[in-house]
């Protein structure tokens, strides 16, 4: 009897811990990624976790940011709500895909990007997040056009080009 009570009690603890863990995971999952441009015209809300977070050192990102790379998060497009007026600038990638970078029509902040080759996803810029500290990059892409002065975390996975998607 005593032993059965002990086991039942233990079971309860395990179930409670699992429930707490699920609630924590749900909260992390449900906490939207929100952000926007410098002037407030463009706002976005991504109700999902990023599929991938990266630094892109391609020449187009360098030119549009004026820096060594763009820091971006990839989201499932259907989970992102964008409001406000954007102007798009298109570039032809070496893969043949057309890349489209969206800047605010008013303040010209670089907020988002999309590619004809990946119609189900869109990229949001890490610097436009309301809480940029939530950006957790895992890799560097197009590192072949990166520069020595654009130092990135050596623990990140480095791809000379864009890694092939499955």
Provide CB contacts within 8 A for 92, sequence distance 6+: 98, 99
* Residue 58 in contact with Zn ion, rule: CB under 5 A: yes
Single residue of 46, 54, 61, 122 touching Zn ion by CB under 5 A: 61
Q: ∠140-114-88 over CA atoms, to 5°?
A: 120
Choices 8-16, 19-27, 48-56, 115-123; region in contact with Zn ion by CB under 5 A: 48-56
Q: Identify the helix (H) or strand (E) that includes residue 124.
A: strand 121-125
Closest CB 20 distance from Zn ion, rounded Å: 40
* Pairing mode, strands 98-104 and 86-92: antiparallel
* Residue 103 in contact with Zn ion, rule: CB under 5 A: no
Closest CB 24 distance from Zn ion, rounded Å: 34
Total residues at the site for Zn ion (CB under 5 A)?
9
How many whole angstroms separate alpha carbon 93 and alpha carbon 69? 16
Q: Would you say 145 and 62 are in contact if contact means Cβ atoms under 8 Å apart? A: yes
Choices 97-105, 117-125, 127-135, 149-157; region in contact with Zn ion by CB under 5 A: 97-105
* Residue 56 in contact with Zn ion, rule: CB under 5 A: yes
What is the chain's alpha carbon radius of gyration, rounded to the nearest angstrom? Answer: 21
* Residue 104 in contact with Zn ion, rule: CB under 5 A: yes
Single residue of 34, 41, 116, 145 touching Zn ion by CB under 5 A: 41
* Residue 121 in contact with Zn ion, rule: CB under 5 A: no
* Residue 72 in contact with Zn ion, rule: CB under 5 A: no
* Residue 39 in contact with Zn ion, rule: CB under 5 A: yes
Give which of 123, 125, 115, 68 is closest to 95, Cα–Cα. 115
* Pairing mode, strands 139-141 and 52-56: parallel
Which residue ranges make up the site for Zn ion (CB under 5 A)? 37, 39, 41, 56, 58, 61, 104, 106-107
């Amino acid at each position: 009897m005593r032993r059965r009570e002990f086991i039942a009690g233990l079971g309860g603890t395990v179930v409670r811990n699992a429930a707490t863990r699920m609630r924590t995971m749900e909260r992390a999952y449900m906490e939207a990624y929100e952000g926007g441009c410098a002037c407030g015209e463009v706002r976005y809300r991504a109700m999902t976790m990023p599929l991938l977070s990266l630094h892109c050192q391609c020449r187009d990102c360098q030119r549009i940011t004026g820096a060594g790379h763009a820091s971006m998060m990839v989201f499932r497009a259907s989970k992102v709500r964008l409001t406000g007026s954007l102007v798009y600038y298109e570039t032809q990638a070496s893969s043949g895909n057309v890349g489209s970078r969206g800047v605010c029509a008013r303040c010209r902040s670089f907020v988002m990007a999309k590619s004809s080759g990946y119609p189900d996803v869109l990229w949001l810029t890490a610097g436009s997040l309301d809480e940029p500290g939530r950006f957790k990059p895992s890799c560097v892409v197009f590192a072949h056009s990166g520069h020595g002065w654009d130092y990135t975390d050596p623990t990140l996975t480095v791809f000379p080009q864009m890694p092939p998607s499955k």
